[in-house]
Amino acid sequence: MTAEHGQGFPKAARIRRRREFLSFGRSGEKRRTASFVFVLQRCNGQPRLGITVSRKVGGAVTRNLLKRRIREVFRRHPTRDRLGHDLVLIAKPGVGALPMDALQREMAVAFQSHPPSNRK
């Protein structure tokens, strides 16, 4: 099954390399919810998404379903293009059973406006 034209989630919109994930852990801004840890890092182009889901969350079917749902929420979010940050999402154990509306509410934390930085 393929997505309609313009409805996909291309590789350019994903964070895929280990070194990129590691750089987020060192220098990114962290936000926490009950189900996720979000790590954000300023980007120049379109925001990208990286997802980390360990086996503590569930079996392969549960993990893959969760990742697909996370990508869909990210792809369809109305303010995604104005985010200005790449996002790495780390799922906490037990999040596999989260309904879609609760997933959207949890991910809204990552899309909230950022306070101005005090750095010069």
CA-wise closest residue to 112 among 40, 43, 45, 28: 40
Give the residue among 65, 75, 53 at the shortest CA–CA distance from 99.
65
Tokens 């154990």 correspond to what residue? 93
Nearest alpha carbon to residue 47 among 72, 83, 74? 83
Say what the pTM is. Answer: 0.80
Do 15 and 52 touch, CB atoms closer than 8 A? no
Radius of gyration, CA atoms only, the chain: 14
Residue-range domains of the chain with CATH: 29-111 (3.30.230.10)
List pLDDT tens digits, range 17-73: 888 888 877 888 888 999 999 998 888 888 889 999 999 999 999 999 999 999 998
